[in-house]
């Protein structure tokens, strides 16, 4: 669906930064699956949050109506994006805010750096933000001699441990309490050595650790959950109060937000602030939501900036089949219900965006050919749990399949030697595109029975199919196919008596007679 367009800017303009799987997903998954502690932590956490979400969603009689509204509002947003961005810009600017536009990660990082430099500060406090994670802002700032302190508890854990987030909402979901205690004891200078692994004690330690930082910070960097075009208002949704601290105390506030985060109007918030908390943390409402529009004299930061980020979002928008991925409100419901994510965790996806949404968003933003991102759309059994859970009804399975198609087509164009999978698909195309072909092949079923041997089980297959027999047997095929039985043995019954269980005594009433060898 992508291509070049005459007289238009070169499309697509792909994104850069932390958006890539650096090894094929199956390989990364294999490693993560071997980590029993990780699997236990993830299993526990995802199940807890699933149950919470189901409970609060079931409470609302109009949940499905809200999803319909949310989905339509987001589609409407994307369809009018240029106008809404300009409207937002005008409103935000009119109230004393400054807007910057960043084509990609590098440009966004440069803008933030120069804004921090202009204040003369060398430290910033940060509110958890996917966009800054995506562009690798912390690392960039560090290179420029500016220290960025994450203040969200989970982000703090991850930062202290020099680790990477593995979940968009609970970045340290892969760590359990005793691991977190160890990290705090090891990395927090001022920590009480008698710290226990009780979550309340750990939260308390984080409070103490960050309190002074908050009270003295001069510059904060945040993301934003929503931008409301008709008023120029920004929103940050959080729990701990670290967001409020960052958004209220410093003189300078720099927000980095993807261009797709807009909603057309203030009143749309009534939908999204119901959808988001219930879908993400499984709460009726998150503890704190902050809203600000440019600068409020005397209240909060007086030097307020917003960086509007593309970094591949326009590339995703250009894909007609995939663009609804931009409707994502980063609630994380899809990964919490995903059976694949539950077992591999977020690191296996490489990108800042893990789980089902990451498996489509990352390759949409970088292009299917970027590094190992072409392995991501296959990281799903297409069970559809993500689509069911998504508050804005993104049909993730359909986009996964679409991107698999993009991958197959792009490899078709470049790779000349067909893979085993290609050959299998080619063979199956022949077999399945004509009933006569399939019928012909079915004549070979007895051979399979022979191969299965006396216990009628196939335990080892060669080549690609060997992946099946790694953990599963295959039953011996039947002696005759249904098609053969139908042609030879089936006779329409003449005296059918419903409910008696037998028909006219020809044996056709029951599948269990004249098995033809299935028994």
Return the DSSP state at 261. G
- Written in H, E and C, the secondary structure of 36-90 is HHHHHHHHHHHHHHHHHHHHHHHCCCCHHHHHHHHHHHHHHHHHCHHHHHHHHHH
Select the binding partner of residue 417 from other proteins, ligand SF4, none (C-beta < 5 to 8 A, by kind). Answer: none
Q: Which of 146, 153, 183, 361 binds other proteins (CB under 8 A)?
A: 153
Residue 47 phi/psi, 5-degree rounding, is -70, -40
| Site for other proteins contains 49 (CB under 8 A) | yes
| Site for other proteins contains 252 (CB under 8 A) | no
How many other β-carbons are positioned within 10 Å of the β-carbon of residue 228?
25
Select the binding partner of residue 391 from other proteins, ligand SF4, none (C-beta < 5 to 8 A, by kind). Answer: ligand SF4
CB 113 within 8 A of CB 141: yes
Q: By CB under 8 A, what part of segment 443-502 binds other proteins?
A: 445, 455-457, 459, 464-465, 467-468, 470-478, 480-483, 485-486, 490, 492-493, 496-502
Write down the least CB distance from residue 396 to ligand SF4, Å: 6
| Site for other proteins contains 191 (CB under 8 A) | no
Nearer to other proteins, 145 or 415 (CB): 415
CB 491 within 8 A of CB 508: yes
112 token code pair: 């933030």
Select the binding partner of residue 161 from other proteins, ligand SF4, none (C-beta < 5 to 8 A, by kind). Answer: none
CB under 8 Å, gap of 24 or more: what pairs does 382-385 form? 383/339, 385/334, 385/337, 385/338, 385/339
| Site for other proteins contains 79 (CB under 8 A) | yes
CB under 8 Å, gap of 24 or more: what pairs does 54-59 form? 54/282, 55/282, 56/278, 56/282, 56/283, 56/284, 57/278, 57/279, 59/284
Nearer to ligand SF4, 126 or 261 (CB): 261
Select the binding partner of residue 331 from ligand SF4, other proteins, none (C-beta < 5 to 8 A, by kind). Answer: ligand SF4
Q: By CB under 8 A, what part of segment 200-219 binds other proteins?
A: 200, 202-204, 206-207, 210-211, 214-216
Select the binding partner of residue 453 from other proteins, ligand SF4, none (C-beta < 5 to 8 A, by kind). Answer: none
Select the binding partner of residue 45 from ligand SF4, other proteins, none (C-beta < 5 to 8 A, by kind). Answer: other proteins
Closest CA to 168 of 381, 353, 413, 390: 353
| Site for other proteins contains 418 (CB under 8 A) | no
SS3 call for 307 = strand
Write down the least CB distance from residue 110 to ligand SF4, Å: 28
Interface with ligand SF4 (CB under 6 A): 279, 328-334, 357, 389-392, 394
Write down the least CB distance from residue 270 to other proteins, Å: 4
Distance CA 336, CA 454 (A): 44
Distance CA 391, CA 383 (A): 17
Q: Which residues pair with residue 139 across a beta bridge?
A: none
Write down the least CB distance from residue 352 to ligand SF4, Å: 12
Considering Cα of 37, then 38, then 40, then 45, what sign does the dihedral take?
positive
Nearer to other proteins, 142 or 426 (CB): 426
Closest CA to 366 of 352, 379, 355, 381: 352
In order, the DSSP letters of 86-151 are HHHHHHHHHTT-EEEEESSHHHHHHHHHHHHHHHT-SEEEE---HHHHHHTHHHHHHHTT-EEEE-
Select the binding partner of residue 506 from ligand SF4, other proteins, none (C-beta < 5 to 8 A, by kind). Answer: none
Site size with other proteins, rule: CB under 8 A: 196
The size of the chain, in residues, is 519
CB 191 within 8 A of CB 157: no
Nearer to other proteins, 142 or 270 (CB): 270
Write down the least CB distance from residue 22 to other proteins, Å: 17
Write down the least CB distance from residue 114 to other proteins, Å: 14
Select the binding partner of residue 390 from ligand SF4, other proteins, none (C-beta < 5 to 8 A, by kind). Answer: ligand SF4
Q: Which of 98, 239, 372, 446 binds other proteins (CB under 8 A)?
A: 239
Nearer to other proteins, 136 or 377 (CB): 377
Q: Which of 120, 194, 299, 416 binds other proteins (CB under 8 A)?
A: 299
Q: By CB under 8 A, what part of segment 327-346 binds other proteins?
A: 339-340, 343-344
SS3 call for 475 = strand
- Asked if the peptide bond before residue 304 counts as cis, ω within 30 degrees of 0, the response is no
Write down the least CB distance from residue 362 to other proteins, Å: 16
Select the binding partner of residue 501 from other proteins, ligand SF4, none (C-beta < 5 to 8 A, by kind). Answer: other proteins
Nearer to ligand SF4, 209 or 402 (CB): 402
| Site for other proteins contains 40 (CB under 8 A) | no
Distance CA 275, CA 390 (A): 9
Select the binding partner of residue 154 from ligand SF4, other proteins, none (C-beta < 5 to 8 A, by kind). Answer: other proteins
Q: By CB under 8 A, what part of segment 86-105 binds other proteins?
A: 86, 95, 100-103
Where does this chain touch other proteins (CB under 8 A) — which range of 112-120, 140-148, 172-180, 359-367?
172-180
Closest CA to 102 of 236, 255, 246: 255
- Give residue for tokens 């919490």: 336
């Amino acid at each position: 669906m992508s291509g070049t367009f005459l007289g238009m800017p070169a499309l697509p303009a792909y994104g850069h930064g932390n958006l890539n799987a650096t090894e094929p997903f199956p390989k990364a998954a294999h490693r993560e699956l071997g980590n029993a502690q990780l699997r236990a932590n993830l299993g526990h956490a995802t199940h807890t949050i699933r149950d919470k979400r189901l409970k609060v969603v079931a409470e609302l009689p109009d949940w499905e109506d809200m999803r319909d509204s949310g989905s339509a509002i987001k589609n409407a947003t994307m369809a009018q994006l240029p106008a809404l961005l300009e409207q937002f810009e005008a409103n935000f600017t009119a109230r004393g805010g400054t807007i910057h536009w960043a084509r990609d990660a590098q440009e966004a990082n440069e803008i933030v750096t120069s804004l921090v430099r202009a204040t003369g500060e060398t430290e910033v406090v940060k509110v958890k933000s996917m966009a800054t994670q995506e562009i690798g802002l912390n690392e960039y700032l560090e290179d420029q001699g500016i220290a960025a302190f994450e203040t969200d508890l989970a982000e703090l854990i991850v930062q202290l441990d020099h680790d990477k987030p593995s979940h968009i909402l609970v970045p340290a979901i892969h760590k359990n309490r005793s691991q977190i205690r160890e990290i705090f004891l090891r990395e927090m200078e001022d920590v009480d050595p008698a710290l226990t692994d009780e979550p309340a004690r750990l939260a308390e330690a984080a409070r103490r650790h960050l309190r002074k930082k908050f009270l003295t910070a001069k510059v904060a960097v945040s993301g934003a959950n929503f931008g409301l075009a008709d008023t120029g208002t920004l929103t940050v949704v959080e729990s701990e109060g670290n967001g409020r601290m960052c958004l209220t105390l410093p003189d300078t506030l720099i927000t980095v937000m993807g261009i797709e985060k807009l909603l057309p109007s203030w009143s749309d918030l009534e939908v999204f602030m119901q959808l988001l908390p219930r879908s993400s943390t499984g709460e009726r409402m998150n503890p704190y939501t902050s809203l600000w529009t440019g600068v409020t004299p005397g209240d909060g930061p007086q030097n307020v900036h917003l960086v509007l980020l593309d970094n591949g979002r326009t590339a995703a928008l250009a894909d007609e089949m995939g663009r609804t991925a931009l409707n994502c409100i980063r609630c994380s419901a899809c990964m919490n219900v995903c059976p694949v994510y539950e077992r591999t965790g977020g690191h296996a996806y490489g990108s800042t965006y893990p789980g089902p949404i990451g498996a489509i968003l990352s390759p949409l933003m970088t292009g299917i050919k970027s590094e190992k991102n072409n392995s991501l759309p296959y990281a799903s059994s297409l069970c559809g749990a993500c689509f069911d859970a998504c508050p804005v009804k993104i049909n993730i399975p359909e986009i996964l399949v679409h991107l698999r198609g993009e991958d197959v087509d792009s490899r078709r164009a470049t790779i000349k030697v067909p893979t085993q999978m290609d050959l299998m698909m080619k063979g199956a195309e022949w077999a399945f595109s004509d009933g006569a072909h399939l019928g012909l092949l079915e004549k070979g079923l007895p051979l399979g029975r022979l191969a299965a041997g006396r216990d009628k089980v196939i335990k080892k297959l060669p080549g690609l199919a060997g992946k099946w027999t790694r953990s599963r047997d295959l039953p011996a095929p039947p002696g005759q196919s249904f098609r053969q039985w139908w042609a030879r043995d089936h006779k329409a019954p003449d005296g059918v008596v419903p409910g008696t269980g037998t028909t006219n005594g020809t044996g056709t009433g029951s599948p269990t007679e004249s098995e033809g060898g299935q028994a």
